[in-house]
Structure 1
Amino acid sequence: MAQELIIGLTEHRTFGNIFQAFLIEKKVSFYSIVKLVRMHDLPELNLNAFEEGLVKLTNQYSDEMLFKKFSKQKESSKFFQQLDQRLFQDHISPYIDKHMRQIAVLLMQQKTRLFFKQAKYSNLYDEDRIVVPEQFSRATFCFEKNEEATRYSLEIKHSQSKINILHKNLTIVTSQPCSFVWQNRLYLFRHISAKKLVPFLTKEFIAIPKAVEEKYFETFILSTIREYPVRAIGFSIEEHDSDKHPLLSLEPNLKLEPVFIPKFKYGDTEYLANSKSSVFVHLTKANNQYSFQKYNRDENWERQQIQLLKQLGLKEKDGCLFPKQVELLDDTDRLFEMLAWLTKNKEKLAGHGFELQQNQFEKRYSTDTQDLQVEIKTSEDWFDIYAKVRFGEYEIPFIKLKRNILSGIREFELPNGEIAILPKEWFTQYEDILPFAKQDGQALKLKKYHYQLLQKRLKGIDKSFFQRLDKIGKTASEPITVPANIQAKLRAYQEEGFSWMYHLYEHQFGGCLADDMGLGKTLQTLTLLLKLKRMKRQIMVADPTEPDDQLNIFSEEKSEKEHGQAASLIVMPTSLIHNWENEIKKFTPSLKAYKHVGIQRKKSLNLKGILSYYDIILTTYGTVRNDYELLKEQEFFYLILDESQNIKNSGSKTYQTISKLKAKHRLVLTGTPIENSLSDLWSQINFLNKGLLGNQAYFKREFITPIEKKNDQEKQEKLQTLIRPFVLRRKKEQVARDLPALTEQIRYCGMSKEQKTSYEKEKSIIRNNILQNIEKDGMDKSAIVILQGLTKLRQLANHPSMLNDDSEAESGKFDEIYRSLKSLMAENHKVLIFSSFVKHLELIKEKIESENWKYSLLTGRTTNRSQVIKNFQEDPANRIFLISLKAGGVGLNLTSADYVFIIDPWWNPAAENQAINRAHRIGQNKKVFVYRFITEGSIEEKIQLLKERKSSLAEKFVNSNNPFQAVTQKEIINLFN
């Protein structure tokens, strides 16, 4: 027999009427139920897709499924016996109702038959069949209002027939939406709830009391008109299809995040874009007359408006819109970006009819277009920046935004009380400029040495001006002719350094020449001063340091023009005075130099005359501090600081006094512009170009903390941009192609005051002893006494402590060795230090250890020579090797070093050459610098002069059994004078 799948409407013991799937067989006059169909039966049955769908839906609310979904108990019987009514009403019943509705709709679409199925019987009859229509029934609410009352009824139609449900015995099948069975026919509605229908089973109409009539119109009747067909008598319902426009509201969402809420305005009422209703209704009341305006939503038009917003860069989420890039921003930045989007797209939105709103914010934000106009004029030392901003109808001087930009505050209040949000790019473009700009009325004045800041950020400046300034940082682009009378051949990098300084001079900028030690900073500087030397008036023939009528020649009443160019003041450590003096004589003999140093210096001299007669005044940092009152009133041509790290402490008296000296131009020389901290750099740059890096507090906040503590790359680049034109730094490796394989220099060192006193006293005693010995025993037998005397004086020239352990006297040579070492350590070079006195090496070792510098030591007492050498050669951090001449003159390969210090030169050049060859030998790939440290005014300097005059003297002195046979008695005596 053929079997058929049907749906039975049967009564569940707990849940009331439910649909179930049954398999039936046709008997003669009835149908017999074969089985209740479950999910596990499907593989055995030959059902179509619709039928399988019905079975699956009925099984969604089987006892097993409901127990599994809604119960936490272990036994299903207890769950149904003790069923919680609230759980049933709030959750289970709606769940069943939803699936029942789906089954009823499917039955309308296919031929599966529906029967009443009594719970206790297993047979069905044709009389039990329920007809399922192919279309929905309609319910219309009928409202009638008159002077006495308002009442309403429900009119139900199926097709064209009215159905009267008053006092009818209906079987409710589903509640939301409603469906019921009457007279073996199923009636389904699209929207109406069974709760709306049930009252009319017992009443023909429902009366609305007059007292609550207005509330009913505002709530129940309004919602009924929106959701259902309504027929009205006594008030009007007007339906509209146009009169609409879009809105975009900026407001906080439930998480208090700023978002755009899309809305649509139909008539005078606004509706959310994500509203589920397809109809909008608005009520008006006038003279006790009610009128409803009903708008059918134009969903196609609404989608077009939302699509337009997305095309303009908005993203949709949870019914809200926002620019795609704002999701990761905090609420404040998010709000600002959204306002920027509004400002950018305001005209386009207006063109498409959008109304813009701001809701639930404490402030009202401006979305007017912002326009910044900048005009820049150049004067001798300044850029004058005239800038104004237009916010809609308001024009604001840009200077009024200075506090906002420097403080990072993007909100700016306009005259009408609205808040304008300053664009982020303004902060990027101008926050670097404003800290350095001074206010002048409604304009900003910026020093010309900040041209790098303007060049990249502001438009409207004469580009040729910047092209001229660019020569500063591009020394090779336009070389300057070296003066013909310079007594030296400058190397290529030295010519570039000289050209760079000259370009700085042309633009009246200060500069820092920061070449590595030994690259000729002194020579480059002297070349500049020689290039800029001016002719003095012919009348100026006398040296103003001489007493003869100098006040008449250099009258204070003569004008600066008559005096010509003033002298340049060069300030340096005491130990460098002699070197500068020698370099001037050697390279630029036409430059007249005056030394203003020492206790014998004239403190009441006619400085005006000095400035006019001389080209260069050499002095020391200590002298400037002591003679500040004398120097402060004069204006020098150039103020040059050698070893300018001496002013790195901006709180020191040295910095304070030197910074106050007046000069047309400034220059500093140093191999180590930064020794400990970036604050070292600030002090030197601020001396050169005051204000270039802002004040100290700004520099610390803007650069020192971010760079030194956070390694902020952006701040590093910003600082480099600021200082790049004014700092020229060449390391030895960069200019190696221009250097000879070996460069030798003599570094003359002055004695300290106490050292000079001890030396002169000992020299007098030794001289008298030698004269007595020579007179008594002759030259040949006096050699021992002479050598002993020479050795004592050499030790005193090195350091007084070498003769007297208790001496607290300082040593000029020792200070200069330490200063040079400090520079090399800062530049990451390796250095060999040779001495013929182990005691001298020990003194230097103590200083090295106090600085925590890593070093090696090789003397005659060293037992592990190979390990000591390996440590120096292979450890990059080990950069100092102290070596005694006897222990290290031969047999060593120390090619990791590129500097050699001979700290107590003597007669024997062969021994020194052997020492130099420890570094300058096969395998060395670096250029080697050799420094010989000679104490000025000592036996060392006199021996050096003898060596230069008598080329064979050293050889005779070393190789002869009696070296004094090659030296006259007069020459010996002169050594001790």
Structure 2
Amino acid sequence: MKVSTAQPFQIIYSVLSHEYLGYLFEAFIVQLDDKEELTLLNQNVSIKNINEFAHGLDKNDLQLVKLINSLQSENIYKKFVGSKKRSVVDFFLKVYDSQKGEKALQEMIATYVEKVKAEMMPLLLGKKLFIMGSDGNPIWQQVEVLPEKATVLFHFMRNTDNTHYFPTIKYAGAKVDFQYKNAFIVCDEPAWIIIENKLYHFAKEVDGKKLRPFLQKRFIVIPKTIEEDYYRKFVSSIITMFDVYAKGFEIRSEAYAGIPILNLAESRSLQTALADNDDIDNLKDEDVELSISLAFKYGEYAFKFDSFSTEVNVSMEKKGDDYVFHKVRRDLTFEKSTLAMLDTLGLELKNGKMILPKSEAFAWIQKNYQTLTEAGFGIEQSVEDDGKKYFLGFSNIEVNITEGNDWFDINAIVHFGDFEIPFLKLRNLILQKKKEFTLPNGEVAVIPEVWFTQYSELFAFIEHHTERDGFILKKHHLSLVQDLQSESLATAVLSRKLEKLRDFDEIHAYDLPKGFRGSLRPYQKAGYDWMRFLNDYHFGGCLADDMGLGKTVQTLTLLQSQKEQKIGQPSLLILPTSLIYNWEMEARKFTPELKILTYTGTYRDKNIEVFDNYDVVLTTYGIIRIDIDLLKNYRFNYVILDESQAIKNPSSYITKAVMQLNSRNRLVLTGTPLENSTMDLWSQMTFINPGLLGTQHFFRNEFQVPIEKKGDDAKIHRLYSIIKPFMLRRHKSQVATELPPKIESIHYAQMSEHQEKEYEEAKSYFRNLILAHIDEQGMAMSQMIVLQGLTKLRQLANHPRMVDTDYEGDSGKLEDVMDKLESILGKGHKVLIFSQFVKHLDLFRERLDKEARPYAYLDGSTHDRQAQVEKFQQNEDIQIFLISLKAGGLGLNLTAADYVFILDPWWNPAIEAQAIDRAHRIGQVNTVFTYKFITKNTVEEKILALQQSKQRLANELITTEESFVKSLTKDDVLALLE
């Protein structure tokens, strides 16, 4: 029968012995009679039915029932197995088999059970507790739950031949007889014991294991032969934690004022040694780490700090045959305040110790040495066998920078205490990553780690003066000088004119050249002024405005100004082949006075003396690569690279070729200065201002690895600070406010039934293939198979015929696109249709041809690019332009279109944005509507989510599939393939 919730009831707890798990508890609801006494009507209560009785329970009851439930056999089984391969009974029989049992799993379960019981026991205070009868009666014998804590006194009686050891228990001042009383320990850590139907718990967190041996034994005998070792280990620990009565040896309680001690010791990380496959007996100095450990000295006794778990420390002293235990009381309040002080100083100790790289540890000591000594700390060193002693005093660098005509003069002095170290010596040490050297007094000075960060760029970029003793710094390192000055790392005297370079809004306004035809928008005029300012100082620059903002017209204005300043040499403009015609048209329109030579074609005249008759020479990257041995001998005024991301790879032939060109000034133009990695920036910045970012090796270690591998924000900001004066980047949203709105929408398409079947089969195949490859060879070695698999799935999401030419079914996306196209064309609009896949465009060409719809077309194999553009721009009957994303994302002006379709999502939205900018650019008067077509329940939908989670990485570093895949983790791949 069930207990009635309408009648009085009482919750009780019953302790029982589990065959495998020890003593456990059950909770029962018992009906009360008219006298509010317990009846025989009871009902087991669990988390499943506890809500029925909640009005009669308190929060401790609710928590107890929850904890009791967690120790039920089936819940133990679920927690430690998780599957349903066998029954609960079979699980316990196998795990606890006397011969073949799983000992490790038994220990894990026992630890878990003890942890739960330790949380449960205090909640039983004030509750009704019973021992369950053998017949399952939950109220067989009532147990009195004693409210106060009992105490334990441990006795050690040293005799001639042995030592007797036993505990005594007291409750409320009276001795409790617990031996041979059928007492049993319900919980070990801490101990809860039932003695003659009374439940005891103890002060000082007594461990039940220390009481259990005495339930059926009066005492334990320790033989004389093991006495000293036993006393040192076991007896010392008992004296430390508990009250002890000793006979036959002495316990002295002593009190002293504490003194904190910091000890420095060298210790090479074993992990480092193993990772380097080194012989651990032959340790390299640069691999050595330093441990800083905290101890407290009380009188003549020193104790290593470990925790605040005990107020006393015990040390054993043996005098002849006598033992003396020194029980020294520690001042925990003082020790905690000491630890807090170290924490505020940046030393976060764990278990009284912290291991740091040697230079970092000594930098901390040197910085805080005076504070520590004033606070009463003792600082000790564990001196090596060779007698090495470290310098612990104050150290600093004084740097003074003065602006010269063509460079900055650098004067620097380094101090370690009273010693002045030659700046050249310190510079060489830092560049070689050496962190210590010997002072004249024999002490070893450790270069503070912060110096490697604060001054590494200065040390890397400075050069020896060619005419006198000293160092200089090229003027394009202006930002480094200003940052050192603003961070109080150097004093600098700079001209007001040079100070303005970091904020081009304050740059002096220059007159437009008289031969310029047209007008510049305010931001374009600011760009022209910026380039003129760079020209005055012979600095190179990167004009990185968004596509469509007029980089061409700004550059032509600069070149016209050079002509009018009577600069004798011509300028060389290097472009992708597809942009030659565009530059010729723009030059005729805005700067008709410029004499232009187009140096291209198989039959070009290779007489470079002809260049003298022109103001501007237009050529292509391909021609530069072929003719570099000829062209490098000519001195140009400007060498300008359009779409300069073409030289992003430092090791490519074209990059090596353009680096050899000889010119007075250099300029690069790009809408995407950074594509694959930060190394793209190094190539372009090194071209315009050689040495600006140091050597390739320096840049990789200083910036590329910290930024791309570690996400180091400080390095990102530092890199931006260095290049900021020489890179002008404006977004359309900032400056082209006259542009009409751009409205972007996502259109979700459903796969056809046949298409979905093909997709799911392929997804299952590639998921198993990719995950097996990752498990076997790791993520780094699986990037190609991941890319191949994801590409196949993307193609299937578009149309299965892109993968299987024999596929005869339809595609949900193709039909949706055609429906949307039909409604748009009927209203007279023009549309750009972009796809990454030429195969996808072929499917649409086939459909449009079938329907006799005219269109323009452009992919990488198209020869008449400009003709296709003009056909679309000028012919009203051509409303559709099919374009491959890679071939048509740059250099096209397609303002006749006011709709843009993105057929398949690109890994990085920035590339899609460039495609959209073919229509949404200066000259556009209509609102531009963009539709991104996504197939539901495919990898395309997952890519959208992944783009958001990796948005920062994508925006800053990634635009190619390969680099996107490199950024994926195994969890990312699982998410894409789920």
TM-score normalised by the chain length of structure 2: 0.48
TM-score of the two chains, using structure 1 as the length reference: 0.48
**Which has the higher Rg, Structure 1 or Structure 2?**
1
